[in-house]
Amino acid sequence: MDHVSEQLNGTYLTFGGHVELNSYRFLYFVIMFAIYICIICGNSIILFLIWVKKNLHEPMYMFIAALLLNSLLFSTNVYPKLLIDFLSDQQTVSYPLCNFQSFMYYSLCGSELFLLAAMSYDRYLCICKPLQYPVQMKKRTVIILLVSAWLLPACQLVPSVFLTSSLNICTLTLKAIYCNNSVSQIYCMKSRATYIIYGMFIFINTTLLPMLFIIFTYVKIFIVSFQSSVNFRKKALQTCSPHLLVLISFSCFYSYDIIIARLEVDLHKTVSFIMSLQVILYHPLLNPIIYGLKLKKISQHLQGLFSHGKLIVCVRINVC
């Protein structure tokens, strides 16, 4: 491809992954806008409950709150720009903004796995070592785990900023609808060895190691649970199943996003478009639903919140 000679700060990239945008732009906008509002409302309501209800001020719920906040940040990193593009005549983004979106995208994805690992550690201590739990899972420990979950993935991605700054751009068209791993395909690289090695380093540290740790903790939890009473098993399943559902949901779409881009698989444009939307759709939307329905304390507070709201509405319109 021809070398692009524009200065990087003045370079605009075009999103080439949209399908039938001229025909369905308003339909895309309405659907994705409604989903974004649902994501904001669903995550914010449970965040609010965890903030105001004292019996939810426990490590497990603090990690859930962090996970929901992470989902909000992840969605806000992608949805506003995507919604603007649906209504725009040209789907473009400045090179620095695209790099920032890509950086935040993978930083928050890494944070998601680190938070899930912290949650699995919390459940492991609670179920397998209940006597040590109050000592080891103090407020300070929770804060350290939360800060580490957000800082470590971001810090590991910082070298990518310097790595890409030395590369030339060969094409201004991204085979995507937002900035993710597809950004790597716009650079002129005689050899991708350095890039691949660095990518593997990030993958091992932010994906593989947290996943192995999560698997280890849940294997230990299952062993202890099956050696215990039926009631203990039910209680362990009740607290662990939401985390496992979230982990499975996130892992499926995150794996697709990494594997397809790294292997540079040439998918049909429509398939790529649908999968790109699903990556940013299901996980942030399902998180509050899973935790709201599966965790008894949150479910009870949600019922109370909506019952109270219904009562206020009834009184105001003089129905009750």
Q: What is the pLDDT of residue 10?
A: 59
In a domain, 155, yes or no: yes
In a domain, 122, yes or no: yes
Q: Print pLDDT tens along the chain (320 aa).
A: 444 444 445 578 999 889 888 888 999 999 999 999 999 999 999 999 999 988 888 998 999 999 999 999 999 999 999 999 999 988 999 988 998 999 999 899 999 999 999 999 999 998 888 888 988 999 999 999 999 999 999 998 888 888 777 778 888 888 889 998 888 778 877 666 667 777 788 888 888 888 899 989 988 888 888 888 878 777 777 778 788 888 887 777 777 776 665 556 666 788 888 888 888 888 888 888 888 777 778 888 888 776 655 545 444 555 54
Number of domains composing the chain: 1
Q: What is the pLDDT of residue 311?
A: 40
In a domain, 145, yes or no: yes
User: Which of 215, 303, 288 is CA-nearest to residue 251?
Assistant: 215
Dist. CA 221–CA 122, nearest whole Å:
11
Contact 238, 299 (CB under 8 A): no
User: Which of 273, 284, 267 is CA-nearest to residue 91?
Assistant: 273
For 142, the domain range is 8-316
Q: What is the CATH number of the domain that holds 224?
A: 1.20.1070.10
Please name the residues in contact with 121: beta carbons below 8 A apart, sequence gap of 6 or more. 145, 213, 217
Please name the residues in contact with 14: beta carbons below 8 A apart, sequence gap of 6 or more. 90, 91, 92, 172, 173, 174
Cβ of 8: how many Cβ atoms within 10 Å? 15
Q: What is the pLDDT of residue 38?
A: 94
Dist. CA 308–CA 306, nearest whole Å:
5
In a domain, 2, yes or no: no
Which pair of tokens denotes residue 236?
């362990």
In a domain, 3, yes or no: no
Contact 108, 77 (CB under 8 A): yes
Record the pTM. 0.86
In a domain, 225, yes or no: yes
In a domain, 260, yes or no: yes
